[in-house]
Amino acid sequence: MLKTRTWIILFAALLIAAAVFWWILGRRSASSSTVQIIHDGEVIREIDLDTVKEAYEFTWEDADGNRNLIRVEPGRIRVTEANCPDRICVEHGWLSRELTPIVCLPHRLMIQWKEAAP
Amino acid sequence: MSADKAPKKQISLPLRLTTDAMLTALGLGIWFLEAQLPPLVPIPGVKLGLSNIVILFALFRLGPADAAAVLLTRVLLASLFGGQAVSLLFSLCGGLLAFLVMWPVRRIVTNRQIWVAGILGALAHNTGQILAARFLIGQDAIFAYVPILIISAILTGLFTGICAQGAIRRLPFPPRLT
């Protein structure tokens, strides 16, 4: 049986380690300028954001009526509208260089950098 | 330490069943209320996990079988009422892994360290969910969320653990029937 103080030190250390790791991850940027749109583990579309000259939008939809409106601008991409329950993908905002992908778990959809796993 | 075992033998089967049913209803209500709140932060998987208070209460006050029953019934009913098949997978992976960790932890913490079980349960819950998400999405890039999910588990697990500890230590049990 551990003392309460030992537990506090253990959890504080884990918290700090995770925070440092998160910070380092946030400072690293994607090496590729190509994003992949993934559904159910498969790449359904690839876009090289450096070659985008004019902003455009397109809608992704599956057979169940799950819908995400995706906006592409030079160098960045985001989900602007979605009919998922939590809309976390919309709240995520732009993906412009950071490694954390845009995720829409209810729709099993993700926008990630090509060859940029953490 | 052994205070949590005594009531298990004292209460009759009908009282135990009624308590389990009541805790399930309470957990379902808390789960439903939390689902109505907008996400705290726009990060997939981050939530308070208030219904774990009920599971911790069942685990420490009644026993592992009761906690498992309350958990499974709550998860199944919740996905029946409000969720998709995907949310059932997530709830099951997170909930079961949390339970499997909190169960043995019950034996190594004192009455004043129940919050530890809350944090370890939340860490296990988020581990289960990120693995389910990795399985579903099929891409390793999703692991970029691991550090923030660890931070979130420590903070939310501490909060729900403290709530559960207060309830377990202060509520009279078995309930006094007048």
For chain A, the distance separating the N- and C-terminal CA atoms, rounded to the nearest angstrom, is 36
> pTM for the full model?
0.90
Q: In percent, how much of chain A has pLDDT > 90?
A: 74
- For residue B98, give Cα distances in angstroms to A6, A16, A58, A107, B94: 22, 22, 40, 25, 6
A31-113, superfamily in CATH? N-utilization substance G protein NusG, insert domain (2.60.320.10)
Residue B108 distance to chain A (closest CA, Å): 5
What pLDDT score was predicted for residue A115? Answer: 73
pLDDT exceeds cutoff 70 at A33: yes
What pLDDT score was predicted for residue A116? Answer: 56
Q: What ipTM does this complex have?
A: 0.90
Domains of chain A, by residue range, sit at 1-30, 31-113
Cβ of B163: how many Cβ atoms within 10 Å? 19
- By Cβ distance, the residue of B42, B150, B154 closest to A88 is B42
Residue B17 distance to chain A (closest CA, Å): 32
Average pLDDT of the segment spanning A28-42? 90
Alpha carbon distance A10, B105 (integer Å): 15
Is the CB of B85 inside 8 Å of chain A's CB atoms?
Answer: no
What pLDDT score was predicted for residue B178? Answer: 54
The model's confidence at residue A35, banded by pLDDT at 50, 70 and 90, is very high
Is the CB of A52 inside 8 Å of chain B's CB atoms?
Answer: no
Domains of chain B: 2-170 (1.10.1760.20)
**Helix, strand or coil, per DSSP, at residue B147:** helix
* pLDDT, mean over chain A: 92
> With an 8 Å Cβ cutoff, are B84 and A99 in contact?
no
* A113 phi, psi to nearest 5 deg: -75, 145
Alpha carbon distance B64, B66 (integer Å): 5
What pLDDT score was predicted for residue B5? Answer: 46
Which chain B residues contact residue A11 at CB under 8 A? Answer: 119, 154, 158
Residue A4 distance to chain B (closest CA, Å): 7
What pLDDT score was predicted for residue B47? Answer: 92
What pLDDT score was predicted for residue A29? Answer: 84
- pLDDT by residue for chain B (178 residues), tens digit each? 444 444 445 678 898 899 999 999 999 999 999 988 888 898 988 999 999 999 999 999 999 999 999 999 999 998 888 766 778 888 899 999 999 999 999 999 999 999 999 999 999 999 999 999 999 999 999 999 999 999 999 999 999 999 999 999 988 766 665 5
Is the CB of B87 inside 8 Å of chain A's CB atoms?
Answer: yes
What pLDDT score was predicted for residue A79? Answer: 97
The model's confidence at residue A118, banded by pLDDT at 50, 70 and 90, is low
> With an 8 Å Cβ cutoff, are A18 and B151 in contact?
yes
pLDDT single digits (tens) A39-79: 998 999 999 999 999 999 999 999 889 999 999 999 999 99
Query: Cβ contacts of residue B128 below 8 Å, gap of 6+?
Result: B93, B94, B95, B96, B97, B98
Alpha carbon distance A64, A69 (integer Å): 15
